[in-house]
Structure 1
Amino acid sequence: MTRIFLALTMLICFAGAALANSIRIKDLVEFDGVRGNDLVGYGLVVGLNGTGDGLRNAPFTEEIMSGILERLGVNVTGEQFRPKNVAAVIVTASLPAFARSGGRVDVTVSAIGDAKSLLGGTLVMTPLTAADGEIYAVSQGTIIAGGVSATGEAGSVVQGVPTAGVIPAGARVEREVDFDFSQMSQLRLALRSPDFTTAARIEAAINGEFNRPVAQMLDAGTVLLDIDATQLASPAHALSVVENVRVAPEQRARVIVDQASGTIVMGRDVRISQVAVSQGNLTLRIQETPTVVQPNPFSEGETMVVPRTQVAIGEEEGPGLALVEGGVNLSEVISGLNALGVSPRDMIDILKSIKAAGALHAEFIVR
């Protein structure tokens, strides 16, 4: 009886650990056809406080401003513009999947001329087109800039990026993407990080959820879902079930380092074989001690400054070779590396050397 109780306890613990490491399928894959579309437009921002484009340096701003005024019934033929409160911009947005006419999406506005800031500006009605050249949305509204700039007579201060901003819900959808999702009989699930083990687990998890073969792994990055075999009312009903099925994903062992910031990130499957490491630091000292040399009394010489430089190179004595024990899990690997007692930047060089020696069993990525 005690053995049965212990066995059940271990089974519950393993199941709880697997559940804790499991991820919803919706967070692991992209559904074929269920995707957004990029939109772009060229527009004009008005109402700037003297921080707009200099029209001599940005003639395209004058051209679009003339076009807008003429469409509004203002005759500007032969007129010369010299305002400082307008700026030409590129407007970008992403049209979500299943977006319907009348819906709203966020837009990003970026200056393309020599404007100093878009703070407080208003985007004039700008059509947004997709890759097929069709207009899918129209954008207009007040810009929320991402920075601040201040200019004085003796200089200027800039914080952030004042020449780019956003308009929340600043574009209205005018045209829908022609995509009949309800008539699909099969759907491909594209893994964001292709892996054969993860794809096989997704296949098994979906088939286990429906108690019948409805999913088939095609390759490391694709699982084919037979919507008709799910016997549900529509593809939308089928995906509402599939996307919430949980799977424990697998991933390649990776070590990612950022030399600029000294950041080191390791995956849980990183392993290091037993290796000996010795690390020393070279210190370079340069000291400038210029000396003033005076001429002899009653001579016609000149006072001179003679440069004198003292250069010294020293090497700090280290503890010699340090043994890094091989680790069977990530915590043991970290403990072994921390035993070296070096800074993160020195650790990056050590990891490079361990990788070159063949003792680091992971993909090494330097950014």
Structure 2
Amino acid sequence: MKSFLILVGVIFSFSFQAEAGPVRLKDLVEFDGVRGNDLVGYGLVVGLNGTGDGLRNSPFTEEIMANILERLGVNVSGEQFRPKNVAAVLVTAALPPFARSGSQIDITVSAIGDAKSLLGGTLIMTPLNAADGQIYAVAQGTIIAGGAVAAGDGAEVTKGVPTAGMIPSGARVEREIEFNLSALSTLRLALRDADFTTASRIEQAINNNFGRPVAFMLDSGTVRLSITETRMASVAHALGRIENILVEPERKARVVVDQRSGTIVMGEDVRISRVAVSQGNLTLRIEEAPIAVQPNPFAEGETVIVPRTTAEIEEEPGIGLAEIPNGTSLSEVIGGLNALGVSPRDMIDILKSIKAAGALHAEFIVR
């Protein structure tokens, strides 16, 4: 007998509340020009325990392996490779700002062929290029894979993602990014979350710290800092002074819903107008119980399977028509929603309906 169960509106939800407070300036803005750069390279991992690329399905692995061997003085022209212990990979990294030649950075290694695992493999010297095509770092080292694979004759178990891993300090910087910070006379501070109120508070906090107008708000996402007016010895000294200034950011009222995990996160400025809500659950149950019908003894005929389906729709009693009063704080909003007496799984649908009714005064984001 087969049984199918379909539930409508089965979602969990959670709400968290935190007190707002001042935040360091360095956590609110990006300094113009002080940024990292993405690097990428194409390389070869060796030393795998039979979990590498199948070269018939990944011909580019054979090509790069031949190129590496020829650079090492091994003539492999016309040779056929069939090893199972090598894999072609893409290597990615982020070159941090002001990285100097000789410093080391972390790298991520990901298989691009049909390799089953990179566990225990060693990345061979791989140049890493930036968007301008120049080589800025060289990567090499033993990979720390992010999972494991256990296989037998009839079953295989995979935990995590064994086809990707990382090498801490696996690349050495060979070329520096040309950026003369000390030559700047003005510097722009770019807000990570553009807001006019936050930008104005940043301007005021910096000017109060120096005791004179050195910062000027250009728009909701940019504040200009005059290095000359700060009278500091260098740009670095000025940034070192302002980056720990405390500013209280202004946030938009938002409700963020993740339908896959059933998570709800509300900002402290979320408000709900007076509204009435009624809600119920619907359950559809379908059962299959086929019957085998056989012919009479000594009679000609065949056994026939006769389908038999039972369908049932169940509607749980709803909460009736309940009123949510005006919410002037997040705790009152949560208290009003909890007063409905519904299970947390139905809260997402209720919030969607309240938003559609125009009673939820916040940006509603569904992921």
Query: Structure 1-normalised TM-score?
Result: 0.93
Identity %: 75
Hey, what does 2:82 align to over in structure 1?
A: 82
Maintained 8 Å contact 1:280/1:317:
yes
Hey, what does 2:59 align to over in structure 1?
A: 59
Distance 1:315 1:258 in 2: 26
Hey, what does 2:256 align to over in structure 1?
A: 256
Query: 1:294: Cα distance to partner?
Result: 3.8
Query: 1:326: Cα distance to partner?
Result: 1.2
User: Does residue 34 of structure 1 match 2:55?
Assistant: no
Query: Structure 2-normalised TM-score?
Result: 0.93
Maintained 8 Å contact 1:278/1:322:
yes
Which stretch has the larger CA shift, 336-345 or 38-47? Answer: 336-345
Distance 2:303 2:125 in 1: 72
Classify the secondary structure of the residue corresponding to 1:202: helix
Maintained 8 Å contact 2:253/2:269:
yes
Distance 1:220 1:203 in 2: 11
Hey, what does 2:111 align to over in structure 1?
A: 111
Distance 1:289 1:98 in 2: 71
Distance 1:69 1:266, change over 3 A: same
Maintained 8 Å contact 1:263/1:344:
no
Gap runs ≥5 in structure 2? 1-18
Distance 2:292 2:50 in 1: 54
Distance 1:350 1:282 in 2: 15
Maintained 8 Å contact 2:282/2:316:
yes
Distance 1:301 1:328 in 2: 76
Hey, what does 1:309 align to over in structure 2?
A: 309
Q: Which amino acid aligns with 2:42?
A: Y
Paired positions, count: 349
After TM superposition, list the pairs within 5 Å mapping 1:10-159 onto structure 2. 21-159=21-159
Query: 1:343: Cα distance to partner?
Result: 2.8
Please provide the CA RMSD for this pair: 1.3
Query: 1:282: Cα distance to partner?
Result: 1.2
Q: Which amino acid aligns with 2:60?
A: F
Classify the secondary structure of the residue corresponding to 1:190: strand
Hey, what does 1:266 align to over in structure 2?
A: 266
Hey, what does 2:190 align to over in structure 1?
A: 190
Query: 1:128: Cα distance to partner?
Result: 0.6
Distance 2:61 2:301 in 1: 65
Classify the secondary structure of the residue corresponding to 1:268: coil
User: Does residue 164 of structure 1 match 2:169?
Assistant: no
User: Does residue 366 of structure 1 match 2:366?
Assistant: yes
Instruction: Note the alpha carbon deviations across 1:64-91, whole angstroms, 9 max, x for none.
Output: 1111111111111111111111111110
Query: 1:340: Cα distance to partner?
Result: 1.3
After TM superposition, list the pairs within 5 Å mapping 1:189-208 onto structure 2. 189-208=189-208
Query: 1:181: Cα distance to partner?
Result: 0.6
Distance 2:250 2:291 in 1: 67
